Amino acid sequence: MSRIRLACVLVLLLPALAPAGDFELGREALRRKDYEQAIIHFNAYMQANPKPTAAAYYNRGVAHYGKKDYDWAIADFSESIRLDPRFADAYGNRASVYLLKKEYDKAIQDSDTALRLNPRHPVAANNRGSAYAAKKQYDKAVAVFQEAIRLNPNRPDAYNNLAWLLSTCPQAAVRDGHKALQLALKACDFSDWRNAEMLDTLAAAYAECKMFAEAAQWQKRAVEMGHADREDVEKALRRLKLYEQGKPYRQE
C-alpha cells in the first residue's frame, strides 16, 4: 500500500448506559490502554448477561484493536453493527481495521456508511481518504481529505494526511510542497507540536519545498520524540538520511 498516515484512532464515544461491575472496569482498562484486562472484563460481563449490548461488543472490539487482534476486532464491530445498525462509530472503527488489513474497498464502504449516519464523524472521512490513497486514486484522496478538513476543522488528522500526500505522492502532478507545508504547520499546531508523526510530515513538506536543513531538523525531532514501533523508527531514519543528502521522500 502507499505510505499514508492512516486515521486509525478509534473513537471511544460510548453510548449512554448504566453499566456496572465488569463493564465499567472494562471501560476503565480501555482508558489505561490495558487491553488484555479490558477483554477479560468484557468477557466476564458478556458471560453474566445473556443479551450483551452493542456497546459491549464495540468496546471489546476496541480492546482487540489495541492488541492488534484485527480479525477479532472486526468480528466484535460486526456484531455491534448487527445489534445496532445505526452505530456510526462501529462502522468507522471497522473501516480502520479494514485499512490495516489492506481491504480498501471494505474500508471505503464502511466509511461511507459511517458518514451517512454521522456526516461529521471524526475518523470516517480520513479512513476513506486513506483508502483511496492506498488504491493510488490520489485525486479522490485529496478531495476526501479536503472534505474531512471542512467537516472537522479543529482536528489535526486530515491536515496531516493531506500534507503527507501533497509532500510525498509519487505522482508529480499531485504534489504541492507549499500547500503541504501550510497544512503540516497547522497539524502540528493542533497537536501542540507533540506528535512524532506530524513532525515527520512537517519534515517531508520542508523537503518537498527543497528546504532540506529544516527538513532534517524536524525529522531529528520526530525521531527523538519516538514512533509507535521499530519499523516506523527505521523508516523515519531512512527519511532523515535522504534529507541530509538533499533529497525529498517519495512514497513507495
Q: In Å, what is the CA distance from 118 to each residue of 7, 92, 113, 173?
A: 17, 10, 8, 33
End-to-end CA distance of the chain: 8
Per-residue confidence in pLDDT tens, the chain, 252 aa: 344 544 444 444 444 443 458 999 999 999 999 999 999 999 999 999 888 899 999 999 999 999 999 999 999 999 999 999 999 999 999 999 999 999 999 999 999 999 999 999 988 999 999 999 999 999 999 999 999 999 899 999 999 999 999 999 999 999 999 999 999 999 999 999 999 999 999 999 999 999 999 999 999 999 999 877 788 899 999 999 999 999 999 997
SS3 assignment, position 149 = helix
Cα separation, 10 vs 65, whole angstroms:
8
Distances (CA, A) of 68 to 20, 37, 64, 133, 139: 27, 15, 6, 23, 31
Question: For residue 83, which phi and psi values (nearest 5 degrees)?
Answer: -75, -30
SS (H, E, C) 30-65: HHCCCHHHHHHHHHHHHHHCCCCCHHHHHHHHHHHH
pTM equals 0.88
Q: How far apart are CA 151 and CA 7, in angstroms?
A: 15
Positive or negative: CA dihedral 204, 206, 210, 215: negative
Question: What's domain 1-153's superfamily in CATH?
Answer: Tetratricopeptide repeat domain (1.25.40.10)
Q: Where are the domains of the chain?
A: 1-153, 159-252
How many angstroms separate the CA atoms of 184 and 50, rounded?
A: 49
